[in-house]
C-alpha cells in the first residue's frame, strides 16, 4: 500500500511536470504589433501617439522611438490589455526624416521577464502646405465640417483626409481627387458619434501635379456629447450648459532650431466674418483673413509696433478686402523683403465690416478684437526661431464670466442719411456703450460709455497715424471723440475690469456727398 501511494504520488508529479511547459511557456518577443498613424516626421510629432495591437494579454508597456542611437520620444502604458490601445509619446527632440526604430518592451501574462518587440520605420519629410479650420463641428446631426486652406500657388490634388480619435482610430475619411481651391470645405461623416474633445485630421495629397504624397496633421475639436449613442442618427442634446459671455481663442506659432516645417502656421475663426491664419516661416510672416462672404467689405485696423536690428516704428495700418477682389487679405509682421533677420513687435486692433454700398446705412457684423505679439531670429537657418502669440476675443451668446459685446455702424453717401446715426449695445455688468457718427463737419462722431454703477475713472488712448495720446477721464457718462482714421482704446485703472477698442474711419468734407462715409467697429470686454 505504501508502494502504491508512492507510485501514485510520482505519477501526479510527472503529470504536473507534463503540464508545466504549457503554463510557463513565454514568447521570445512581445506578441504585439506597433503602428504609427503617419510616416511623416512632423505629423507624427504633432499627433504624438502610436497604436499597439496585442495578440495576447500584455501589460506595463514602454515605447521608445530611436534614431541613430538616440532617443527621440518615449511613452508608457500601464495595466493589462489585449487588442488595440494607444500609447502617448513625449518627444525629447524634434522628429526628422530618415530611418528610425520603434522599440516596445513589456510583460506577457504569466511571464516574469520583460519581452521586446522592434519595428524599423522610414520617416519622410514631405510636409503638405495646408491649413485646417474647423467649421460646423457639432456632430450630433451625423456629420461635421472642416475647411482646408491651401498655402502657396502650387496645385494640391488627390486629397485623402482622415480624422483620428484619442485612441488613434480613424473615425471618418473623405477623398478629393480634383485640385483644391484656395479654401475648400470638407464634410466628414463618422461611423459613430465620437466623444467631444480634441481629434486629429491627417491629410495626404500630391503637390505640384505629381510625385509622392505629402502629409500634414492638424488638431480639431469636436462638440459631440460625451457617451452619445453610436450611429449617425441625431441624438438628444446633453444637459444644457450656460453659454459663455465671450469667445476667446489663443493661437500660437512657435518653433526653434530651424525646424519650422509643419509648425509654421495656426488657424482660427472670426465669428460672423470668416476665418484667419497666423504664419511665420523664413520667407513669410503675416496675419491673414479669409472672409466667408466675398461680396462684402471686411476691414482690419491695427496699431502696429515693430522693432528690428536697425530701427523701429509705430503706426496705424489698415488692411481690407473690397467685394470680389480676392479670397483673402493680410497684414505682414515683417517690415522688409527679404525679411529682417531679427524682429519683435505687436498688433492691437479690430477685424470688422468695411464700408457698405452707396446709400446704405445701419449696423454691421460684430467685430473681433486682435492682440498679437511676435519675436523671431532668422539670421542663422540652423538655429532660426519664431514665436507668435495671438488672442482673439469675440462676442459670446451668454452672460457668464467675462462678457464681450460687439457693435458697429456704417454708412456711405450722406445726402439722405437718417436722423439717428447711432448704434448702442447693453453690456452686462457694465452698462451701455454707444457709437455715433453724424455727417457734416459739425456732426458728432463719438463713443459714449454709460456705466450702471460708478466707475471711478477711464484711461483713454487714441492711436492715429504714428501718434499715441493717453488721458484719464472722470465723471460718467464718458464721451470720447473718435479720430477720422485710427483706434480708441479705453480701460479702467481700478475696479471692475473693462477694456474697449474702437476702429474709426470717417470722411465728411468731400465736395461730392456720395464720397462721404463712416465706418465704426467696436468691441467691449467686461468682467
Q: What is the mean pLDDT of each run of 10 residues along the chain (527 residues)?
A: 41 40 68 92 90 90 92 88 89 89 91 90 91 68 81 88 88 91 86 77 90 88 52 31 75 91 88 92 94 89 94 95 88 94 96 88 90 95 93 86 90 84 88 93 93 85 96 90 96 80 95 93 91
| pLDDT value for 495 | 60
112 with 23: CB under 8 angstroms?
A: no
**What's the rounded Cα separation, in Å, for the pair 408 and 303?**
19
Residue with cell 486682435: 370
118 φ, ψ (degrees, to nearest 5) = -125, 150
Residue 103 CB-half CA count within 13 A = 15
Which cell is 103 given?
Answer: 522599440
Count of beta carbons in the 10 Å neighbourhood of residue 142: 13
Contact between 280 and 333 under an 8 Å Cβ cutoff? The reply is: yes
For residue 468, what is its C-alpha cell? 499715441
Backbone angles phi, psi at 469, to 5 degrees: -125, 130
Provide the pLDDT for residue 383.
Answer: 93
Torsion of CA 436, 440, 441, 443, to 10 degrees: -30
* Site of grid cell 472672409: 291
Quote the DSSP letter at residue 419. S
Tell me, what's the pLDDT at 136? 58
C-alpha cell at 227: 457617451
Amino acid at each position: 500500500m505504501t508502494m502504491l501511494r508512492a507510485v501514485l504520488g510520482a505519477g501526479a508529479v510527472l503529470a504536473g511536470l507534463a503540464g508545466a511547459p504549457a503554463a510557463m511557456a513565454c514568447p521570445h518577443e512581445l506578441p504585439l504589433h506597433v503602428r504609427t498613424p503617419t510616416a511623416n516626421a512632423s505629423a507624427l510629432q504633432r499627433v504624438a501617439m502610436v497604436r499597439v495591437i496585442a495578440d495576447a494579454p500584455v501589460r506595463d508597456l514602454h515605447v521608445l522611438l530611436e534614431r541613430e542611437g538616440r532617443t527621440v520620444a518615449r511613452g508608457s502604458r500601464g495595466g493589462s490589455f489585449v487588442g488595440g490601445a494607444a500609447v502617448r509619446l513625449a518627444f525629447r527632440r524634434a522628429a526628422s526624416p530618415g530611418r528610425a526604430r520603434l522599440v516596445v518592451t513589456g510583460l506577457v501574462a504569466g511571464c516574469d521577464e520583460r519581452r521586446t518587440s522592434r519595428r524599423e520605420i522610414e520617416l519622410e519629410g514631405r510636409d503638405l502646405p495646408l491649413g485646417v479650420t474647423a467649421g460646423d463641428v457639432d456632430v450630433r446631426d451625423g456629420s461635421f465640417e472642416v475647411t482646408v486652406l491651401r498655402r502657396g500657388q502650387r496645385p494640391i490634388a488627390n486629397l485623402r483626409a482622415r480624422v483620428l480619435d484619442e485612441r488613434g482610430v480613424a473615425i471618418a475619411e473623405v477623398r478629393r481627387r480634383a485640385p483644391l481651391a484656395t479654401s475648400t470645405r470638407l464634410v466628414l461623416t463618422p461611423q459613430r458619434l465620437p466623444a467631444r474633445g480634441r481629434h486629429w485630421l491627417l491629410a495626404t495629397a500630391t503637390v505640384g501635379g505629381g510625385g509622392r504624397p505629402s502629409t500634414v496633421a492638424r488638431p480639431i475639436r469636436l462638440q459631440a456629447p460625451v457617451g452619445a449613442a453610436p450611429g449617425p442618427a441625431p441624438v438628444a442634446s446633453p444637459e444644457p450648459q450656460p453659454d459663455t459671455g465671450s469667445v476667446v481663442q489663443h493661437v500660437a506659432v512657435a518653433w526653434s532650431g530651424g525646424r519650422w516645417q509643419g509648425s509654421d502656421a495656426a488657424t482660427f475663426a472670426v465669428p460672423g466674418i470668416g476665418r484667419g491664419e497666423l504664419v511665420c516661416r523664413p520667407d513669410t510672416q503675416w496675419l491673414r483673413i479669409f472672409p466667408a462672404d466675398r461680396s462684402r467689405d471686411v476691414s482690419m485696423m491695427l496699431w502696429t509696433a515693430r522693432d528690428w536690428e536697425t530701427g523701429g516704428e509705430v503706426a496705424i495700418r489698415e488692411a481690407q478686402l473690397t467685394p470680389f477682389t480676392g479670397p483673402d487679405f493680410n497684414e505682414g509682421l515683417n517690415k522688409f523683403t527679404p525679411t529682417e533677420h531679427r524682429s519683435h513687435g505687436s498688433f492691437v486692433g479690430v477685424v470688422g465690416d468695411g464700408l457698405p454700398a452707396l446709400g446704405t446705412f445701419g449696423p454691421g457684423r460684430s467685430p473681433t478684437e486682435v492682440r498679437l505679439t511676435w519675436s523671431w531670429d532668422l539670421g542663422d537657418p540652423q538655429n532660426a526661431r519664431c514665436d507668435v502669440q495671438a488672442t482673439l476675443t469675440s462676442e459670446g451668446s451668454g452672460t457668464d464670466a467675462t462678457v464681450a459685446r460687439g457693435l458697429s455702424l456704417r454708412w456711405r453717401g450722406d445726402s439722405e442719411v437718417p436722423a439717428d446715426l447711432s448704434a448702442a449695445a447693453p453690456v452686462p455688468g457694465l452698462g451701455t456703450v454707444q457709437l455715433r457718427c453724424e455727417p457734416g463737419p459739425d456732426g458728432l462722431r463719438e463713443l459714449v460709455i454709460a456705466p450702471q454703477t460708478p466707475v471711478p475713472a477711464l484711461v483713454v488712448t487714441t492711436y492715429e497715424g504714428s501718434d499715441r495720446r493717453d488721458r484719464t477721464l472722470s465723471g460718467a457718462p464718458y464721451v470720447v471723440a473718435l479720430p477720422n482714421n485710427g483706434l480708441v482704446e479705453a480701460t479702467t485703472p481700478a475696479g471692475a475690469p473693462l477694456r474697449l477698442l474702437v476702429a474709426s474711419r470717417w470722411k465728411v468734407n468731400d465736395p461730392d456727398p456720395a464720397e462721404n462715409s463712416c465706418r465704426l467697429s467696436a468691441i467691449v470686454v467686461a468682467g
